[in-house]
Structures are given as C-alpha cells and as structure tokens.
Structure 1
C-alpha cells in the first residue's frame, strides 16, 4: 500500500496529452481480475448504484457553478450518462425483486463520507474529482462485476464499460488548464490526493477471505493497473501523477 501512495508525491509537470482509450468488457477480461473478492449480487448492486448516484449529484452541482454555457452543456452530458448507469443498476435490483432504496441504504454512509472528502474547494477541483474518481470506480466495478454469476456478471460489467462522460470532462478541463496555466500544479496535487480516498472506498467493496496476506498479494496487481489508468487520466489533462 505504501508504495502505491508514495508514487503520487512527485512534483507535477506538464506532458503531452495522450489519447484516452475506450474501455470494454473484453479488454478487462484479459487482465488480472477481482472475481475472488466479489460480494453478493445485492451488496454489489446497492453500493455501485449509490456510487453512480453520487457521481450524478456531483456533476449536477457543478453545472450550477460552471463558468460558461459551454461548460454547463458538457457537464450536463456527463451527468446524463452517469444517471443512465445508475438507472440500469437500479433496474438490476428490481430484476432481483428488491427495493432499490432499501438495497442502497447500507452503503450511503461510506459513500457520502467519500463524497465529502473528495468534493474539492472550487469548481475546478470538483470537476477534476468527478473525472478521476468516476473513471477509477467504473474500471473497478467493471472488474468486480465479473465475479457475479454467469451472464449476470458480464451484463452488469457492461454497464460500467459503457459510454461515460470521461472524454467530455477531459476536453473541458484541458481547455481550462490551457487558459490558466496556474491551475496545473494545484490540480495535479489534488489529483494525487484523490487516488488514496478512491482506493479506500473501492477496497471497502471487496469481500475478503480469512487469509489477509494472501488477499493483499492477489489484490495488489489489480490496484496497480487501476492506478496506471488513473495516471493516464492525469496525463490526458497535461498533469503528472
């Protein structure tokens, strides 16, 4: 764990902006997976559905303080895509014969605490938080879903691998940073801080065995890959993680 956090303490610098690659279930299945640590179906759905609702709420809040109509429109599109994922997850809860609000309720405290810790001090930090944490958690839940039974797991993994507002938010933030270079260092530092909190809320979703040392050895490569994806998202903004 210590080695994961330490790599996010370097001095930020600008870098060339790479292309963001689209995610897909087939791509995810070629990597190290978390299937041994997947919780029961309703536990998975309740937590992940509430996380998507949190992302939607944060994006909706960012619309009200956006500095331009262009920014409002872009964030609105991202919010719509997050809400669509939430609705698809809620539909899975209904398919299982349960009440969505009741299934989500046990996870509200941990997710609400995470939201408060990662909200940011201004509009720019809020949008960066939405961009980075939503991307990290989509990747995480897509992997974790593959441990659910049979076709159900692949169907739910596909929800998280579907279209997101990632590219829209990246373009919006890149333009803002290019217009005000002083944002770069501050947002790079904020992005490095976010990864720790996001890892903690992701790890809280895992179902551990009694062999904690063995669990950590199997989990570490997955989080190494998730952090690498986080770094690419930072790079896409011209920031260094």
Structure 2
C-alpha cells in the first residue's frame, strides 16, 4: 500500500523524499561500479576479496532504497536514472594515477556525498530517514580505506604530502557535485532548507510526526552556506583521521 506523507504541501514533500532516495540509490549504484573496478585492480588477493564483498553489499543497499521508493509510489528506474550523469564530470576530472589515490578518491567522494544525504535525510519521514541513515552509516569501506592509507602513509612522508594535495582537489570537485545536484534537483535544496529550519515531513503510518514550519526567506538564504560549512568541517575531520591536512 502506498504510504502518504502529510504536510503543508504533501505531494511536493513526497516527491522530495523520493528525489533524495533516488540520489542515495544512485550513489550506491556508482559505489558498486567503483568497488568492482577497485577489486579488479587491487594489489592483493585479500583486498580483491574484501572489495568484491563490499561491491555486493552496495547492490543490496541500493535495492533496499529502491524498495522504499516503490512504497512511496515512485518509479525506481526513473528516480535512479534522474542522476545518471551526476558523477561523470567528477570521474573525468579526478582520474587516479595510483592505488592510494584511488582509495582516497572514494573515501573523499563517498564521505562528502554521504554527509550531504544525511543532512537532507533529517527532513524526510521517519521510516525513510531510518533506512537512509542505515545505508549511509555503513562504514566498512571507509574503515578499509583508512587502514590501507594509514599504513602506507606511516612509511612514506612523500606519499602523505601528495595525498594531502590530492584530497584538497577531490573535496573541491565533490562539493561541486553537491552544487550541481541541488541545482538540477530543487527538492534536495528544499529538504536541506527544511532541515535547517527544524522541519520534518510526516509519516502518516508512524503517528509520531508533526507539521513542518515553513522556512523563512532568511533561512532559505542561509541554508546553503551552513550546508557547505558542515560538509567542509566533516571533510576536515575525515582527513585528520588519516593524518592528512585538509
């Protein structure tokens, strides 16, 4: 049975939630491709096995998100396809030249995109939010990348310096992808603004939601700056975990 999301603009809110679900499903789809390619070129058999398992897990997460799209009355193929070209420019401008650059690219790109989706997820209905946070909080690949990069950096100061520069380039490109996504998909921006104003959509079947308070024009204007400040701060934290300067 299709679930109804109630608020001042119920149709728009349901559509915005599906838009975010589509983005997360797409990011998991992209992660599958990257992880499968990483597994193919990984330098050791142990890494190949682990990365192939992570690729399979990304497919399972993608499909779980698309199931929620169907529950909300959305078309899974359409909402996934809406983001088909989102990462193309990022990938073409950030081609890694070493295994370590490849690991850091996924670490930074996934980190920024996941942080953005967590922020937007704060404004959707409770059931969708719980699913999204479960998907986004899977840290298996992040832990693998951190372990590999920390071990390599401990033995090579030159590599540490190069990766720090690479990370700065990556985060600029990743933040650009967020800007492109919000420009092409206004529903994402509405979710970020509603989250900033403390509003959240209501899941009619949960019975524990409340009507969102419309954002003011000042909140609308401040939301993007606040968003990118948060994303940058989280990126700095992740780079510090690696011992790299953001």
Normalising by structure 2, report the TM-score.
0.72
* Cα deviation code 1:139-189 (max 9, x no counterpart): 210120121234333433332124442112100121222343321111111
1:60 is displaced (CA, Å) by 1.4
Is 1:41 aligned with 2:55?
no
Structure 1 residue runs without a partner (length 5+):
1-36
- The 5-angstrom pairing of residues 56-135 of structure 1 reads 56-135=32-111
User: Counterpart of 1:207?
Assistant: 189
Q: Which one of 116, 140, 144 corresponds to residue 168 of structure 1? A: 144
User: Counterpart of 2:205?
Assistant: none
The 1:58–1:174 alpha-carbon spacing in structure 2 relative to 1, beyond 3 Å, is: same
The 1:117–1:130 alpha-carbon spacing in structure 2 relative to 1, beyond 3 Å, is: same
8 Å CA contact 2:14, 2:72 repeated in 1: no
C-alpha root-mean-square deviation of aligned residues, in Å? 2.8
Q: Distance in 2 between matches of 1:82 and 1:154?
A: 17
* Cα deviation code 1:68-110 (max 9, x no counterpart): 2233234334434433322221221232344422221121112
The 1:237–1:175 alpha-carbon spacing in structure 2 relative to 1, beyond 3 Å, is: same
User: Counterpart of 1:33?
Assistant: none
8 Å CA contact 1:46, 1:104 repeated in 2: yes
Normalising by structure 1, report the TM-score.
0.73
Q: Distance in 1 between matches of 2:59 and 2:157?
A: 32
* Cα deviation code 1:13-59 (max 9, x no counterpart): xxxxxxxxxxxxxxxxxxxxxxxx99712221222211221122112
1:129 is displaced (CA, Å) by 0.7
User: Counterpart of 1:190?
Assistant: 166
Instruction: Point out the structure with max Rg over C-alpha.
Output: 2
User: Counterpart of 2:9?
Assistant: none
1:225 is displaced (CA, Å) by 2.3
User: Counterpart of 2:119?
Assistant: 143
8 Å CA contact 2:65, 2:131 repeated in 1: no
8 Å CA contact 1:63, 1:75 repeated in 2: yes
8 Å CA contact 1:42, 1:103 repeated in 2: yes
Q: Distance in 2 between matches of 1:118 and 1:55?
A: 15
1:213 is displaced (CA, Å) by 7.6
Structure 2 residue runs without a partner (length 5+):
1-12, 183-187, 194-215
8 Å CA contact 1:78, 1:169 repeated in 2: no
8 Å CA contact 1:139, 1:161 repeated in 2: no
